[in-house]
Structure 1
Amino acid sequence: MALAMGRSMHQSGLVVLHGPSGYGKSMAAAWVKARSRAYYLQLDDFTRSRKVLLKRLGKALGMQLAKSATVDEMADAVMAQLEQSGRPLIIDEADYLETFKLVDSIRSIYEGSKAAILLIGEEALPFKLKEWERFDGRILDRFPAQPVSLPDARELAGLYCPGKVMGEDLLERLVEVAKGSVRRVSTNLERMYEEALANGWDRIDLATWGNRPIHTGEAPRRG
């Protein structure tokens, strides 16, 4: 997002972050939002029309759009707010834009406001956007989300297990079973912290954890 916000007047301000579910994209969005004062909008299966999209955008921007406002009036108001505020916009679950043919609506909002816009979606999002040539040609950069690493696990341990010492062997195991997913590491750390509190542990390693289960994301097998 910093790249888009610091771009020259001749560069585009559209950026795409893409990757598998659980790779920490929404966590990254929260980090960007906090540090750049970005507006944040998460799409879903109900964002099926330009009118609904604009209403939700208006709400995300802290605006009171008149119930009687037309689509054009709402679009003008949203673009004016983005332009005047100078704040970036994050659109999470952006795959729905392609699903419901709303990609050009976001392109128009970008063109009318020149706001830096970060789209976050699944692995295939960049390929989906290529079908929208006028939008794809305005993308400044595309960033694939990275699988969780041991240094990431250490950072997450500090967030989810405050005051506890996490053994490297246990963190390595969590990264191994996570198969790239930040969410799985976080889920396991939360449970381990609760167990540590319940048992009075100051340190948690593989020996301490013993044969207690570790969440792998696999469905439980029938006995």
Structure 2
Amino acid sequence: MKNKLALVKNVAALQMAYEALEGRDLGIPGMALVYGETGAGKTTGITWLVNRTRGVYVRATASWTLNAMLGRVMAELGANPMGRNAAMVDYIVQQLIEHQRPLFVDEADYLLGDARMIETLRDIHDLSGMPVMLVGMANIEKRLIHRPQLAGRISHWVEFNPADLEDARTLAETVCEVQLDDELLEKLHRDCAGSMRLMAVGLARIEALGKSNGMKTVTADAWGDRKLHLAAPRGAR
């Protein structure tokens, strides 16, 4: 499999949202929300964007406190945690401004139950002026309604939807080192219910079959009734 990013529709929307954040007018808030079902490709897309922007990336956990969140951001900035939360906020803001680095917080669902973490992220955004991108699961946008001070600062949002057949073709052509006939591509898309993660698993298995048998193109007949994956994605038939 080729280690390349497939520029599917979700990734294109993510890129456009970030570019809009960077080029926003004075007075427009610079926070964004990325959300969607597991397997939709959020992690792959965000990893690409973090690398492209030299972003500061942290992943929230269920055990996070405000101190833990700030300490994790400090570590990503190459600094040791400080004794006072206020001092860490000042340092983080200074570093984001000085090096023009956006902040990405993955698994942001874990933050919504703690007002102090939410308010501190808002402060970091307000004081630095740098983009802050929250990444969460499907329906996180509905939970944000109850955090109006944060929701009001989100000027762009991207929902990662299940991949369509065109996206499946883009993925296959980008990462798979053998070709698929149309029938097998349609089977891949249907059996994976548009999950980018499951399609990547299926493509790896198809590629292995093709390479081991010297096939440049793997057909649906050649694939037969082999499994593409072991998961049961939502909506799979």
The match for 1:79 is 93
Q: Kindly provide the CA deviation profile for residues 53-98 of structure 1, in whole angstroms up to 9, marking residues without a partner as x.
A: 01111122x2212x55311111110111111111222211111111
The match for 2:216 is 202
Contact 1:5 1:88 (C-alpha < 8 Å) held by counterparts: no
Unmatched runs of 5 consecutive residues or more in structure 2: 1-17
The match for 1:49 is 65
Match of 1:90 among 95, 98, 104: 104
In structure 2, what is the Cα distance between the partners aligned to 1:127 and 1:139? 13
Q: Output aligned runs, 1:14-93, within 5 Å.
A: 14-46=31-63, 48-60=64-76, 62-65=77-80, 67-93=81-107
Deviation at 1:38, TM superposition (A): 2.0
Tell me the TM-score normalized by structure 1.
Answer: 0.89
Tell me the TM-score normalized by structure 2.
Answer: 0.84
Structure 2 residue identity aligned to 1:78: I
Deviation at 1:45, TM superposition (A): 2.1
Q: Output aligned runs, 1:1-223, within 5 Å.
A: 1-46=18-63, 48-60=64-76, 62-65=77-80, 67-101=81-115, 102-162=117-177, 164-215=178-229, 217-218=231-232
The match for 2:13 is none
| C-alpha RMSD of matched pairs (Å) | 1.7
Structure 1 residue identity aligned to 2:55: A
Contact 2:58 2:104 (C-alpha < 8 Å) held by counterparts: yes
Deviation at 1:3, TM superposition (A): 0.9
Unmatched runs of 5 consecutive residues or more in structure 1: none
Contact 2:201 2:228 (C-alpha < 8 Å) held by counterparts: no
Q: How many residues in Structure 1 have an aligned counterpart in Structure 2?
A: 215
Q: Kindly provide the CA deviation profile for residues 113-144 of structure 1, in whole angstroms up to 9, marking residues without a partner as x.
A: 11101111111111111111111111102221
Deviation at 1:5, TM superposition (A): 0.9
Distance 1:134 1:68, change over 3 A: closer
